[in-house]
Structure 1
Amino acid sequence: MSFVSPVTIQKVSGESLIETPDLLAVEEPLEIRLGFGPTDDRQQRSVSVTMRTPGEETGRNDEELALGFLFTEGIIHKSTDVISCRHCVQDAQKTGNVIRVELQPEVDIDWSRLTRNTFTSSSCGLCGKATIEAVTSLTAGPVTSDFAVTPEILYALPERVRIMQSTFAYTGGIHAAALFDATGKVPLIREDIGRHNALDKLIGATFWQNGLPLTQFGVFLSGRIGVELVQKSWMAGIPLLAAVGAPSSLAVQMAKEAGITLIGFVRDHRFNVYSEGHRAWG
């Protein structure tokens, strides 16, 4: 399965029009199914369908996306909760677009965390306080970390990440979530057409390698910062979240509650700090 799709476009510049080949980012649904229950009574349930960029041919990014989603929703807590995570091959109509996560028999699932839709719906009717309280109940409290960076490191991140975005280089229509350390090194980057999916992939990749919590790393995002991205970062123990775009008011409110440094408009040798600014002056 390819992450880009070829098309022919009409390119208009001034008074000229030419037909030329182009590439688009592929967008397809991924259904996440859970296998759960005692050994003698295994059950299966579909828990989410998200529009995503399929990623590499091996489908590894889909595994990371599924695991990151389940971790940040509080369904799984450690890699040993998972027996396996692989694409379903029985459903010929959805080849490559269904992934099943088999959980250990003793894993107790709180289904209400997946049904109340607390974090993803902007029209759920919950006030900001209720949203933050819901996330707080899943965490160990505010993020504590001595992680810090210099402004120069933050200034360099947009270009450094852009160069590493392989899919963006082909299409120009994809988001990135990049992990960076206190020296500005970027050891891991994930891309997707959805901002939240890119971060889920990043968190899922570190979850599978027992790398959580990410208290000694920051995350750089290529778009704006919504509250769901702060929630996922809080769950993963990320102390600093920076982005090219702007944060929402609730994202700032949650970042302050979480003790996360929130930085927006990182571009053109400048940025804005919205919370916990001491980590941006390392």
Structure 2
Amino acid sequence: MGRVTERRRVVRIRDGNVTTRADTLVGEEPLEVRVNGRAVAVTMRTPGDDFALATGFLVSEGVLGEAGEVARISYCSGGDTFNVVDVRLADGVAPPDVSLERHVYTTSSCGVCGKSSLDAVRTTARWPLPLSGPFGVAPGVLAALPDRLRDAQRVFARTGGLHAAALFSSGGELLDVREDVGRHNAVDKLVGRAYERGLLPLSDAGLLVSGRASFELVQKAVMAGIPLLAAVSAPSALAVDLAEEAGVTLVGFLRGTSMNVYAGAERLQRRAR
């Protein structure tokens, strides 16, 4: 399997002083995801949690949701053995539509974009997200989460080159943290690990991401049944549209004691009283 980090020699210049030293860099390698032997996507990722990344991706695309829908998952034999994962679906589980096949590298902006995608997510989402549901979080609890996430980023502390995503409870406990060069991959790893443990839908958890809140990340929250997405940076306009449509609480610019709530403020107000 590929390495999470690698060492490289660098020339370091500080205040006019030149030295040579070893630097730790984050690993980045392609991962091809196959379903029943057919390639559906290739993503650049940090090696590790590859099976969870594959299943989390398939949850976000509406292929998986219920426990027992995967018969087997394995690395493929041949050349780059640990860079190709094949997910074999259980009998009776419909394979992904041919339109899912992306014989290109996926990026942080990948996915189906445009207003029509709002209808697509609504029709494929398995779990509704009512604003009157049980999950809520106080603004003060949210405000403390970015620092907790940074403290939990062990590889970022060594490389400075990773995004992070975390699931958290209404009381602010970090339930799981994943890191990856792609923030969408970090979320897929979280969702995939939850799927493997039979924890979907994640209706009692919020999702925190270290970057911006793209449409795709809101989509992943919806498909996993996550009622709240918080980001340290800005959301896109389409991300806000989807959050409003699907009933997701969307928080952006979560920095210090400040934040912007773009959709679903009821989940914060209920806990703030």
Give your verdict on TM over 0.5. yes
Alpha-carbon deviation of 1:273?
0.7
1:222 partnered with 2:210 = yes
Alpha-carbon deviation of 1:268?
2.3
Q: How many residues align?
A: 265
Correspondences of 1:69-84 after superposition (within 5 Å): 69-84=57-72
Correspondences of 1:1-12 after superposition (within 5 Å): 1-12=2-13
1:106-156 superposed Cα distances (whole Å, 9 cap, x missing partner): 222241451489x9796999632x110111110247512221111111111
Alpha-carbon deviation of 1:98?
1.0
Aligned CA distance change for structure 1 residues 70 and 124 (closer, same or farther; 3 Å) = closer
Matched AA of 1:247: P
- What residue is the counterpart of 2:155 in the other structure? 167
Q: Among 173, 178, 182, which residue is 1:185 paired with? A: 173
Alpha-carbon deviation of 1:170?
1.3
C-alpha separation between the residues in 2 aligned to 1:222 and 1:267?
A: 11
- What residue is the counterpart of 2:114 in the other structure? 127
- What residue is the counterpart of 1:96 in the other structure? 82
C-alpha separation between the residues in 2 aligned to 1:139 and 1:84?
A: 24
Aligned CA distance change for structure 1 residues 105 and 140 (closer, same or farther; 3 Å) = closer
Structure-1-length-normalised TM-score: 0.88
Long gaps (5+) in structure 1: 36-43, 56-60
Aligned CA distance change for structure 1 residues 201 and 123 (closer, same or farther; 3 Å) = closer
Matched AA of 1:16: N
Contact 2:42–2:102 (Cα < 8 Å) also in 1 = no
Long gaps (5+) in structure 2: none
Contact 1:8–1:22 (Cα < 8 Å) also in 2 = yes
Q: Which runs of 4+ in 1 moved over 3 A?
A: 119-127
- What residue is the counterpart of 1:18 in the other structure? 19
1:50 partnered with 2:34 = no
Contact 2:127–2:223 (Cα < 8 Å) also in 1 = no
Aligned CA distance change for structure 1 residues 16 and 172 (closer, same or farther; 3 Å) = same
C-alpha separation between the residues in 2 aligned to 1:124 and 1:202?
A: 18
Correspondences of 1:125-274 after superposition (within 5 Å): 127-128=114-115, 130-140=116-126, 142-144=128-130, 145-274=133-262
Matched AA of 2:34: R
Structure-2-length-normalised TM-score: 0.91
**Percent identity (aligned):** 44
- What residue is the counterpart of 1:41 in the other structure? none
> Secondary structure, in 3 states, of the residue corresponding to 1:234?
helix
C-alpha separation between the residues in 1 aligned to 2:154 and 2:64?
A: 30
